[in-house]
Amino acid sequence: MKVLDYEKRKNKELFNDFKFLKNMDVEKIQNYIPIYSKFFNFKENTNINLNHSNYLTGIKDNTDLNTRNDKLFSEKIFTVEVMNKEKKEIRKSFLKNSSVFDISRFLIGKYDLKDEIFYKLPDTSNNGHSSLYDTNNISYVDTLFSFLSSQLLNNYGVINALDYYGSFLAIVRNFSVDISEDIEYFVDSDYFMKNRNKLFKIDNMEFKKPLLILDDSVELEFDCLESLDIETPIDSKIENCVEDCVEDCVEDCVEDCVEDLESNDSEKIDNKNSQDESSDEGSDENSDESSKGSEESEYSTESEYSSTQLNVVFDKCLVQITSLEYCVNTLDDLILTKKLVDETEWLSCLFQIIMTLIIFQDTFSFTHNDLHTNNIMFTSTDDEFLFYCYKGQNYKVPTFGKIFKIIDFGRSIYKINNNLICSNSFQPKGDAHTQYNTEPYFNNKKKRIDPNFSFDLCRLACSMWDNFLSVNNIEKTIKQNKIANIVNEWCSDDNGISVLYKSNGCERYPNFKLYKMIARTVHNHTPHNQLLRDEFKQFRVDSADNVINIDLIPKMFT
């Protein structure tokens, strides 16, 4: 069986079901998605679906909104009818709705909401907006790997892989997106302030533009002060913080200079070529879809279910609808609610994530590139143990009733057959374009930075560190707590230096610079290396039944 193939299904009854949903106002819906053209040649696109084992045949609103206490999350859970080779089943499914276009560009006036080009569903003619037909569109990249994940689940028994029931493109009316994390960016836009509640609605919450302070006698606060020794004189504290700020500026300048030096002379002096490249590859029309909108984690982002949610509502939007396996909650929620405290249970969780990454890397040369505690979810199980076999070694891992799964692949890079799939967030002017310098967006005037197989565990650990450690008691904590020790090590670069914090508690690499420096300086934390750790050797056994035999999963790329 081909891991990636297509089947023909009209889905007429299913599409009728979509149009009668109360919690989703679907105007038009179709099967064809442009990324299919990367793998297949079609004369027509009407009935094309991928060959996943479980596929949607019907859908209705979920009447049980008590699946979670949060109604906003529950409204994205639907009751679906799923068909497989053996039978038809009724299941719960999370419907992930992602705008195909970058929402932020609509909100600041880079895209014209009145232009009908943004509401034309694609076909095989490739006649439309370039972002719609970009096979590396964030939404398409995300959905395709969800499909590949389901192939591992259903064809090779990888229970930690996420199931996938289908994906479609649709015009959805009254489409809502949470912009709370980016509201400070938007309120600085005159276009946004002028057109809010005109071209688009702001729902659920009133907001005010940040107060402008004109009095220059205001007291300054430094984020790193609270982590310093309180016996240190305050003048010394401030001096240290100022020194750190200067150091950061110097580091940034040095980094920029190094990047300039890595460029060849023609890049420095050929302004015409630079302008041509900017206007061609980096124009508003053709630039990538940034994370402000299309890449938001609808399944798991904390802000989406919090009291600070701020929704923008569009009259209509071209959306990718993806039906995914229902998961109970996120790893982040388990941490915040202190439902995951036992050391062995934590080791089970981390080991499941490690084995999942090993499978993804070995099978698809995969990097997630944004793995954090909200991008790991779990399902419930009655199985007491999971059994893995890798390189001839068997492992017996207690589940504690939870199967952990990785989600949200919008920033991923992976390979299938002879095709490289790379999120267009890495293209010039993309929100992640400086993380790597690699194909298909490789700039030969700069140093090559290929996808880093140590990146994901380091990034995950960075999202966990504050829950286990503080800069004041690292040595004591890592001696007493195995999980803290693992997390702390994963946050260390090749020289054993933390990529997260300096010794005084200030961030070492603020904002996206953290991603750039992990990619460049962290190479010892591949998932494969973790199997050599003493903490995970306890799961080794001589033999096992009902095993997930990773050795039998073929490499699916060339």
Show Cβ contacts of residue 235 under 8 Å, excluding neighbours closer than 6 positions.
none
Q: Please identify, among 326, 347, 379, the residue that sits at the C-terminal boundary of a domain.
A: 326
What backbone phi and psi angles, to 5 degrees, belong to 452?
-110, 120
How many residues are recorded in the chain?
558
Same domain for 71 and 152:
yes
Same domain for 231 and 349:
yes
**Cβ 99 vs Cβ 319: under 8 Å:** yes
Tens digit of each residue's pLDDT (9 = 90 or more) over 344-383? 999 999 999 999 999 999 999 999 999 999 999 999 999 9
Same domain for 505 and 529:
yes
Same domain for 195 and 86:
yes
Which H/E stretch holds residue 88? strand 88-99
Instruction: Please tell me the predicted confidence (pLDDT) of residue 233.
Output: 52
Joined together, the tokens standing for residue 84 give 């497989």
Q: Please identify, among 272, 306, 326, the residue that sits at the C-terminal boundary of a domain.
A: 326
Same domain for 390 and 302:
no
3-state SS, 341-365, equals CCHHHHHHHHHHHHHHHHHHHHHHC
Instruction: Please tell me the predicted confidence (pLDDT) of residue 105.
Output: 93
Same domain for 451 and 436:
yes
Tens digit of each residue's pLDDT (9 = 90 or more) over 72-89? 454 689 999 999 987 999
Amino acid identity, position 449: I
Q: What is the residue-level pLDDT of the chain in tens, covering all 558 positions?
A: 688 999 999 999 999 999 999 889 999 999 999 999 999 988 776 689 999 999 999 999 876 644 444 444 546 899 999 999 879 999 999 999 999 999 999 999 999 999 999 999 999 888 999 999 999 999 999 999 999 999 999 999 999 999 999 999 999 999 999 998 889 899 999 999 999 999 999 875 555 554 444 444 555 455 554 444 445 454 554 555 555 555 555 555 545 554 544 444 333 333 333 333 333 333 333 333 333 433 444 444 333 334 477 899 999 999 999 999 999 999 999 999 999 989 999 999 999 999 999 999 999 999 999 999 999 999 999 999 999 999 999 999 999 999 999 999 999 999 999 999 999 999 998 889 999 999 999 999 999 999 999 999 999 999 999 999 988 889 999 999 999 999 999 999 999 999 999 999 999 999 999 999 999 999 999 999 999 999 999 999 999 999 999 999 999 999
Same domain for 88 and 237:
no
Class of residue 430 by CB neighbours under 10 A (exposed 0-12, middle 13-18, buried 19+): buried
The total number of structural domains that make up the chain: 2
**Cβ 174 vs Cβ 315: under 8 Å:** yes
Instruction: Work out the angle between the directed axes of helices 455-464 and 482-490 (0-180°, nearest 10).
Output: 130
Instruction: Please tell me the predicted confidence (pLDDT) of residue 297.
Output: 43
Same domain for 121 and 75:
yes
Same domain for 315 and 348:
no
Same domain for 400 and 376:
yes
Partnered with residue 378 across adjacent β-strands are 329, 404
Same domain for 137 and 8:
yes
pTM of the model: 0.84
Same domain for 452 and 391:
yes
**Cβ 408 vs Cβ 142: under 8 Å:** yes
Which H/E stretch holds residue 60? strand 55-61
Instruction: Please tell me the predicted confidence (pLDDT) of residue 524.
Output: 98
Where in the sequence is the domain holding 13, given as residue range(s)? 1-213+296-326
